[in-house]
Amino acid sequence: MAEKAKKLADPVAASYDVASQKMIKRAQDLGVETVFDRAANMKPCSIGAGGTCCKNCSMGPCRLPLPKGGIEGKDERKGLCGATANTIAARNFIRMIAGGASAHSDHGRGVAEVFMAAAKKKTEAYKIKDTTKLLAVAADLGIATTEEVDGEQVQRNIDEIAVETAEAALNEWGKSEGELLYAKSKAPAALYETWKKNGVVPRNIDREIVEIMHRTHIGVDQNYQNLMKQGTRAAIADGWGGSMLATDLQDILFGTPYPVASEANLGVMKKDMVNLVIHGHEPILSEIIVAVAQTQEMIDYAKEKGANGIQLSGICCTGNELVQRHGVPLCGTFLQQELAIITGACDAMVVDIQCIMQNIANVANCFHTKLITTHPIARMEQDLEPGNVSHIEFDEHHAVRDATRIVKIAIDNFTNRKAEVMIPEEKSPIIAGFGVESIEYHLGGTFRGSYFTLNDNIINGRIRGVAGVVGCNNARTRHNEGHIEVVKELIKNDVLVLTTGCNAIACAMEGLLTPESAAVYCGPGLAEVCETVGIPPVLHLGSCVDNSRILLAAAEVVKAGGLGNDIRDLPVAGSAPEWMSEKAISIGHYFVVSGVYTVFGVTMPTSGAPVFQDYIFNEYEKLYGGMWDFEIDPIKHAHKMIAHIDKKRKALGIDKARERVLMDMSDRQALD
């Protein structure tokens, strides 16, 4: 029988972004398959998507579909061992937290190891760059930064502080006693007390992840509330531990981001230059690639090969790390990694860890693109086969040598372009590089605390609230549409948006990361603030691990005063409109248990177990102040967040202030 013809995705229905539509069409014309076409041909399993498929032992998979019309009376569904739908969904959910927390935290551990090498001066390539941040982080990890000399407190030797900080940081992954240090030193006191009361303060990062795997083994924890307790510990260990340490130590090593101009979308690639695209999550290698690619030696070498220079660009969170610190342009989001190669202009793509689709190897083999895997834990079967995929194991002790080799491979490949180059012209200017420190600089003040001006604008209602909108793309929904519509609706309603990950890239591509966009898209209050202080209404805070910056910004708002005692009191909300990765579930959960109402789009892996879902959607508010929610429609999604923000404004007694801001001139005159 003839094989059934494969369907092709409709490019316009598949992506909101015109550049991506062009490249999807081009791929189809060239017969190169992409994720968009695979999504058109393979349907997801609705039982797994709802969270009630268990394969934790070989008597399964046990699949528990939700009966049509929902559950009437008692839910009698069980796996072979008797595990209920709630147990199965909760086990799956916290295994996702374990996957996400381990990815962020192992990334953090890798950074901590390089930080240790730098502190001990065992590597030439990495040095302590931000000593101010080092001193702050050292103090938060309990390291003395001053000592008494002749009766006076003076700063201790910075090299000694660095080594002790590195030791204390690495200890956070596996210490035998005590609790996660940042839980107490960085979270608001009231939040720490909530965690204490609920018995969820993490002991160390690794242990909480391991314990999830133990508890979810067949026949261990079979109480969804108790399972979630462990999921909560691991999520806190991620957000306030592994991710936060990754961010802090990266800032110390590579510099704390400050606003920087750049561009975003596939149009940043250049036909007449060597295009080296960097993709993944860890900045350890990419920082050195940036330095090497800027050397005169490499630029001259590229010119010898007929190119006009070297154009670096980034995909996913390595891209976010590089734009934040160096202004290296963003090439695209998660769903554009294949499309960057389809331009025919990608001379090399270098990848490290996380969110790297294995199919980019197949796409690279259809073009001249050299695909280089670099991390020992993230190889591809194709890097052993003949073709364009190879593995260069990156070693931080020989960082410059390895980075030079990679840059040279890209340059040498410039002359091998075989397909016609077709780079879409679409790209947008952006301002990136925000963080806790730069928000303080732009929106801060010295009166009553560093975030006072931001708080003041929230209290007077010009800024209705603050939203953290983050997360991935998901090929089960139109690329970038949810991201952009949710964010536009929020800023239209005067909600300041803090963004990271692929949401940040989507907003960048849409032109929302410019101060000028405020006049076009924002409500009058937010537009006025953005115009006065010169910031975009959507602030790019970095990569996935940098969601920790959103937590810390919220903690700073609490500290500045006037908006309650804890994050749960603030008019804030979280969102991941197009999430897909386990990391997003871990992020969502640490937002929730830090007191933030958090809405996810596309699909929710709890929908097959209504009792369990109700527990984390509703009961959790009583335990932690934050709770989960789910909404596919982007406008309704944004309005659920706005309704929560308004609920918090009312509880704070600042809802009236906001009504005044919405008055127009004639209202004001009538008042006078």
Binding site for ligand MSK (CB under 6 A): 281, 316-317, 334, 355, 471-472, 501-502, 543-544, 581, 583
3-state helix, strand, coil in the chain (%, to 5): 50, 10, 35
User: Which of ligand MSK, ligand SF4, none is residue 544 near (CB under 5 to 8 Å by kind)?
Assistant: ligand MSK
Closest distance between ligand SF4 and the C-beta of residue 215, in Å?
Answer: 12
Phi, psi for residue 37 in degrees, rounded to 5: -70, -40
In which element (H, E) is residue 105 found?
A: helix 85-119
Which residue lies nearer to ligand MSK by CB, 328 or 530? 328
Please tell me what DSSP assigns to residue 48.
H
Of the residues 24, 83, 498, 560, which one makes contact with ligand SF4 according to CB under 6 A = 83
Residues 538/518, Cβ–Cβ less than 8 Å:
no
> With contact defined as beta carbons under 8 Å apart, do 135 and 146 qualify?
no
Nearer to ligand SF4, 222 or 250 (CB): 222
- Closer by beta carbon to ligand SF4, 56 or else 256: 56
The site string for ligand SF4 over 204-243 (x = CB under 6 A, - otherwise) reads: --------------x-------------------------
Which of ligand MSK, ligand SF4, none does 334 bind, CB closer than 5 to 8 A by kind?
A: ligand MSK
Classify strands 428-432 and 260-264 as parallel, antiparallel or unpaired.
Answer: antiparallel
Give the one entry of ligand SF4, ligand MSK, none that residue 218 binds, where binding means its C-beta sits below a cut-off of 5 to 8 angstroms depending on kind.
Answer: ligand SF4
Shortest Å, Cβ 333 to ligand MSK: 6
Nearer to ligand SF4, 217 or 476 (CB): 217
Instruction: Choose among ligand SF4, ligand MSK, none what residue 104 binds, the Cβ cut-off being 5 to 8 Å by kind.
Output: none
Query: Of these, 12, 13, 45, 80, which contacts ligand SF4 (CB under 6 A)?
Result: 80
Question: What are the angstrom distances between the C-alpha of 70 and each of 85, 89, 608, 632?
Answer: 13, 16, 9, 19
The yes or no reply on residue 405 touching ligand SF4 (CB under 6 A) is: no
The answer to the question of residue 47 lying near ligand SF4 (CB under 6 A) is no
Partner touching 80 among ligand MSK, ligand SF4, none, CB below 5 to 8 Å by kind:
ligand SF4
Nearest distance, CB of residue 340 and ligand MSK, angstroms: 14
Q: Smallest gap, in angstroms, from Cβ of residue 13 to ligand MSK?
A: 21
340 Cβ neighbours under 8 A, 6+ residues apart: 266, 269, 277, 313, 315, 331, 332, 346, 349
Least CB distance to ligand SF4 at residue 604 (A): 20
Question: Per-residue b/e over 252-285, b at no fewer than 16 CB within 10 Å?
Answer: bbbebbebbebbbbbbbbbeebbbbbbbbbbbbb
> Is 54 one of the binding residues for ligand SF4 (CB under 6 A)?
yes
Query: Interface with ligand SF4 includes 89 (CB under 6 A)?
Result: no
- Binding residue for ligand SF4, selected from 21, 56, 413, 474, defined by CB under 6 A: 56
Least CB distance to ligand MSK at residue 308 (A)? 30
Q: Which does 472 bind (CB under 5 to 8 A by kind): ligand MSK, ligand SF4, none?
A: ligand MSK
Q: Report how many residues bind ligand SF4 under the rule CB under 6 A.
A: 14
CA angle 631, 224, 70 (to 5 degrees): 50
Site string for ligand SF4, 435-464 (x = CB under 6 A): ------------------------------
Best CA proximity match to 479, nearest among 342, 583, 333: 333
CB of 630 to ligand SF4, least distance (A): 24
Is residue 519 close enough to count as binding ligand SF4 by CB under 6 A? no
**Alpha-helix runs per DSSP H in 120-220:** 131-140, 158-174, 181-185, 189-197, 205-215
Pairing of strands 465-469, 62-63: unpaired
Report, in Å, the least distance between residue 459 CB and ligand MSK: 32
Give the range of 5-13, 55-63, 292-300, 470-478 binding ligand SF4 by CB under 6 A. 55-63
CB atoms under 10 Å from CB of 325, counted, come to 24
Instruction: Identify what 62 binds: ligand SF4, ligand MSK, none; CB under 5 to 8 Å per kind.
Output: ligand SF4
Least distance CB 512 / ligand MSK (angstroms): 16
Cβ burial 413-428 (10 Å sphere, 16+ → b, else e): bbeebebeeebbebbb
Does 59 engage in binding with ligand SF4 (CB under 6 A)? Answer: yes
- For residue 315, the cross-strand partners are 279, 332
C-alpha 521/C-alpha 50 separation (Å) is: 35
Note the residue count of the chain.
672
Q: Count the neighbouring beta carbons within 10 Å of the beta carbon of residue 324.
A: 33
Q: Can you count the helices (H) and strands (E) in the chain?
A: 31, 18
Q: Under the rule (CB under 6 A), what is the footprint of ligand SF4?
A: 54-57, 59-62, 79-81, 83, 88, 218
